[in-house]
Amino acid sequence: MQPRSPQKQQTRNTEQPTQEQIMSKIKLLIHAGYPKAAVFFRTGMEYLHTGRINIGIFLLKQAATSAQGHKIAAYTLGVQYYQGYDSITSNKPNYVRALWWFTLAAEQKLPEAQYMAGIMLYTGQGTKQNHQQAKHYFKLAAKQGLALAQYRLGVMWHTGQGGSKNVAKAKHYYQLAAGQGLDAAKQKLAVMENTALSQQNAEDSLTPSQEFNKLVATKYTSFTMWTPPPDYRVMPSATRAPIRLVNLS
């Protein structure tokens, strides 16, 4: 009998682990004392970035719904469903599910999730349009210093959406957002300083879809909430591909 060729042996060694093997590795890490939610999250993100979308989504759900909870996992799931990138076969947004996950993370006081829940209520994506409820979420995110939420609150006070008009409050929130370098807010302030106020001047110069793309482009720099052991690896090394963004215009 002929020996196996080195090429075939190499292919066998780099085969992707099964879901059962992945879960077995995760259980060992949890048993060793690593936080359950963080283990599921880190592993899920690895698979998400290497193209195994289905297993990545499954693991992120385990993190987000664990007893410990994981707000960034819930937010990430919201982004995936919002973009229609929740499986290898789907490219259609699921706004109902996206809103559910954003709301779960918003309840855990994640400002980006509070903002996205607000945007979906503001535009009526996955739910009935509700400017008052949207304003509530924008206020929560703005209070935590999220520039996009501050800008959106400025627009709502400027136009009277979700309540009455209040130019002073609009200017206040534009100033907060502009102070963080948001160009759209700077443009609003320039308009308020140099021209008479009108409904046209109050209209958006940054659309909700553009805001979402800005938000997704600004990623957390420390997704990992625990330090893995030296031998930690649940999958072969692979070139990481960025999560796909879709045109929401």
Reported as a single tens digit per residue, the pLDDT across 195-208 is 655 445 555 556 66
What was the pLDDT predicted at 130?
97
d(Cα 191, Cα 175) in Å, to the nearest integer? 13
- Give me 45's structure tokens: 């993100």
- What is the band of 217 on the pLDDT scale with cuts at 50, 70, 90? low
**CATH code for the domain in which residue 148 is found:** 1.25.40.10
If one counts the domains in the chain, the total is 2
Q: Report the C-alpha gap between 232 and 135 in whole angstroms.
A: 44
Domain membership flag for residue 168: yes
Whether the per-residue pLDDT at 249 is higher than 90: the answer is no
Q: Please choose, from the candidates 71, 92, 83, the residue with its C-alpha nearest in 3D space to the C-alpha of residue 209.
A: 83
- Domain finish residue from 38, 69, 93: 93
Domain boundary among 37, 65, 93: 93
Rounded mean pLDDT, 5-24: 65
Window from 32-41, 69-78, 95-104, 198-207 with minimum mean pLDDT: 198-207
Residue 230 makes CB contacts below 8 A (sequence gap 6+) with: none
Most trustworthy range by pLDDT among 103-107, 225-229, 240-244: 103-107
Q: pTM here?
A: 0.75
pLDDT in tens, 17-41: 888 889 999 999 998 989 999 999 9
16 phi and psi angles, rounded to 5 deg: -70, 140
pLDDT for 50 equals 86
Domain containing 36 equals: 18-93
Mean pLDDT of 39-57: 91
